[in-house]
Amino acid sequence: MAETFYLTTAIHYPNGKPHIGHAYETIAADVLARFHRQMGRQVRFQTGTDEHGLKMAQKARDLGITPRALADEMSGYFRDLFDKLDISYDRYIRTTEDDHYRASQALWQAMEANGDLYLDRYEGWYSVRDEAFYDESELVDGEGGEKLSPQGTPVEWTVEETWFFRLSKYAEPLLALYRDNPGFIRPESRRNEVVRFVEGGLRDLSVSRTSFDWGVPVPGSPGHVMYVWVDALTNYLTGLGYPDETGNMAKFWPADLHLIGKDIVRFHAVYWPAFLMSAGIALPKQVFGHGFLLNRGQKESKSLGNVTDPSELVDAYGVDVLRYFLLREFSFGQDGSYSAEAIVNRANSELANSFGNLAQRTLSQVFKNCEGYLPRINGHTPEDEALFAHVDRVIHAEMPAAYADLAFAQALEAWMGAVFACNAYIDAQAPWALKKTDPDRMQTVLATLYIVIAQLSQAVIPVMPGSMGKLLDAMGIAPELRSPEGIRSHWYSPLAESEYRLDKPEGLFPRLELPEAAGEGAE
C-alpha cells in the first residue's frame, strides 16, 4: 500500500474576507500536497473555516446578523479564493458541520473519562481577537497604559464558571515529547519558545464558556459551550471520521503535518498534544509555524483593516505568478514583506525572462526549424552531458529534499540555477547558427533542451500547476510522465518517433507592468 501523508492548514476565522496570510499558508500546503502526490504518496489535505467563538459572535452582532449567516457568507469567500488559487484540498471543513459537533463532543468525553476535566470558577484575562486566555505575567503595557496581550491585542477581565482541563498535569509529558522528537515543532526558534513556555509551568486551561452560546455544546452540561480552540483543534480529527477509528482515521492519523502561522504555535504544540494524550489518541508528527507576510513592512489583518484581497492579486498577476512569488521570495519560517514591485520584478526576471524565454526560444526553433517535429539526437557532447547532470541533480536530489523540508525558497533557487544553466547552454551552443553549418548538431541541441525543459517543468508543477500543465500538454508529455520517476524514464525517443508535432508555441508568462498606483500599496 502507498505511504500516506496527511497535512492540514489552520482553519481560518471567517469573521471577514480572506487576506494574503490565508492565501500564503494554503498555497504552501497545496505545494506540499502536490509534491507528495507526485512522489507517489496517498495524500489527504484538509483546510477550512473556524466558525465558533466570541470573535465571530461579536462581529455578527456588530453587523446585526446571526453568526451562522456571517459564517455562511464568509466561508464562501474562502472557498472561492482557494478554488481560484488552485488549492487541491480533499476536505474543506466548516466547524459548524454536524460531524464536527460529534467529533468535538467525543473528544471532550474521552478527556472527561480520563479525569482531566473539572468545573471551577475562572477569573483572568481574555483576548477576543486572539481567542486566548493570558496570565497576568504575560501582559504588556499599551501606549495609553492599558493592558495588552503579548500579541498586542486588547484583553478583558473575565469571571465565569467554566470547565477546566488539567493542562498542568501534562507539562512533563510535553517536555518529554519535545525532547524525544526534536522535529515535532519547527522551525527551531519556535520550538525553543514553546519549550521555555512549558518549562515555566502550565496552569489548567479554561475550556468552556457560559457568557455566550455560539459554540459546540458541552455534553451533559447545559449552558456551557466549548472554548473555541477545543473544537477548532478537533477539526483535524473530524475530517478523518473520528470518533470512528476505522476508515480514514486508521489510514491517515496521526497527521504528518499541521501547517500553521507562528502566532498559533502554542495552541498546536501545547494544548493540542495535551488534549490528545488525555484522550489516548496518537500525536501528530509535526507542527510547522511559518512566518508572517507584511504589506510593505506593515502588518495586514482583518482587524486592522489594511487588507489586500488576494483574489485581486490573482487577477492582476495570475495565479501561478502569485504562487511562485510567495514561495520563492521568502524563507518559509521567517516573516517577509511584499509589494507590487517585488512581485513584478520577480515574475519578469525569473518567469518571463529566464524560464519563459528559455521555453519559448527552444520550442519556437523546434516549430520553425524542425517543422514542429521533435528533433533527433545524433550523439551527445560533454556539454550536453554536463547540462543533463546539473538538471538531474537539481530535480531528483536538491528539489525533492528541499520541498520535503518545507524549504520552498531553496527548492526554487536550485530550480532557477538550473534554468540559468540552460540559458547559458543555449547561448553557447547557438542552435540558430547551427541551422546552416551543422543541422545534425542543431537537432541534438534542441532535443537536449526539450528534455531538460520538460524535466524543469515537471519539477515545478507543485508550485505552478496550471502553467506547467499547459506547457507539458503543448510538449506532448502525457500526465503519467509528470512525476520525478516518470520524467526520468525514456519518453523522448518514443515521443519523437511518434511523429508528435508541436503547435506554434504561446508565451507562458507575459511581461508584467507595475500597476498605476505603484508606490501606494500592492492593491
**Residue closer to ligand ME8 (CB basis): 232 or 363:** 232
DSSP secondary structure letter of residue 137: G
- Per CB under 6 A, the segment of 77-85, 259-267, 421-429, 465-473 that binds ligand ME8 is 259-267
- Per CB under 6 A, the segment of 62-70, 140-148, 228-236, 448-456 that binds ligand ME8 is 228-236
Which of 39, 106, 171, 232 contacts ligand ME8 by CB under 6 A?
Answer: 232
Contact yes or no for 267/308 (Cβ under 8 A): no
Task: Tell the smallest beta-carbon distance from residue 292 to ligand ME8 (Å).
Answer: 4
Per-residue interface string for the shown chain with ligand ME8, residues 282-321, x marking contact by CB under 6 A: ----------xx------x---------------------
Contact yes or no for 290/185 (Cβ under 8 A): no
Which of 5, 6, 7, 10 contacts ligand ME8 by CB under 6 A?
Answer: 10
**Residue closer to ligand ME8 (CB basis): 124 or 336:** 336
Q: Is 322 in the site for ligand ME8 (CB under 6 A)?
A: no
Cα–Cα distance, 28 to 462 (Å, whole number) = 10
- Per CB under 6 A, the segment of 191-199, 214-222, 242-250, 261-269 that binds ligand ME8 is 261-269
Contact yes or no for 154/129 (Cβ under 8 A): yes
Site for ligand ME8 in 98-127 (CB under 6 A): none
- Per CB under 6 A, the segment of 166-174, 215-223, 258-266, 317-325 that binds ligand ME8 is 258-266
* Residue count, binding to ligand ME8 (CB under 6 A): 19
Task: Tell the smallest beta-carbon distance from residue 275 to ligand ME8 (Å).
Answer: 12
Give CA 287 to chain center in angstroms: 13
- If you search the block for the grid coordinates 539526437, which residue do you land on? 377
Which of 215, 239, 241, 261 contacts ligand ME8 by CB under 6 A?
Answer: 261
- If you search the block for the grid coordinates 520552498, which residue do you land on? 408
Cα–Cα distance, 491 to 483 (Å, whole number) = 12
**Residue closer to ligand ME8 (CB basis): 260 or 347:** 260
Task: Tell the smallest beta-carbon distance from residue 67 to ligand ME8 (Å).
Answer: 14
**Residue closer to ligand ME8 (CB basis): 310 or 476:** 310
Helix 408-429 to helix 357-369 angle (10° resolution) is 40
Which of 7, 11, 71, 442 contacts ligand ME8 by CB under 6 A?
Answer: 11
DSSP secondary structure letter of residue 363: H
Task: Please identify the residue of the shown chain whose CB is closest to the bound ligand ME8.
Answer: 261
Contacts of 112 (CB under 8 A, 6+ apart): none
**Residue closer to ligand ME8 (CB basis): 10 or 387:** 10
Cα–Cα distance, 324 to 508 (Å, whole number) = 14
User: Where do runs of H (alpha helix) occur along 39-170?
Assistant: 54-63, 67-84, 98-113
Which of 5, 6, 12, 359 contacts ligand ME8 by CB under 6 A?
Answer: 12
Q: Strand, coil or helix: what is 293?
A: strand
**Residue closer to ligand ME8 (CB basis): 68 or 511:** 68
Site for ligand ME8 in 19-48 (CB under 6 A): 21-22, 24-25
Q: Is 240 in the site for ligand ME8 (CB under 6 A)?
A: no
User: Where do runs of H (alpha helix) occur along 185-329?
Assistant: 188-199, 228-238, 247-252, 265-266, 272-279, 310-317, 319-329
Q: Strand, coil or helix: what is 142?
A: coil
Q: Is 384 in the site for ligand ME8 (CB under 6 A)?
A: no
Task: Tell the smallest beta-carbon distance from residue 234 to ligand ME8 (Å).
Answer: 8
Other beta carbons within 10 angstroms of residue 480's beta carbon come to 10
- Long-range residue pairs from 144-149, CB within 8 A, at least 24 positions apart, any chain: 149/125
Return the exposure string of 198-237: e unless at least 16 CB atoms fall within 10 Å of the residue's CB, then b.
beeebebbbbbbbeeebbbbbeebeebbbbbbbbbbbbbb
**Residue closer to ligand ME8 (CB basis): 10 or 321:** 10
Give the footprint of ligand ME8 on this chain (CB under 6 A): 10-13, 21-22, 24-25, 50, 232-233, 235, 260-261, 263-264, 292-293, 300
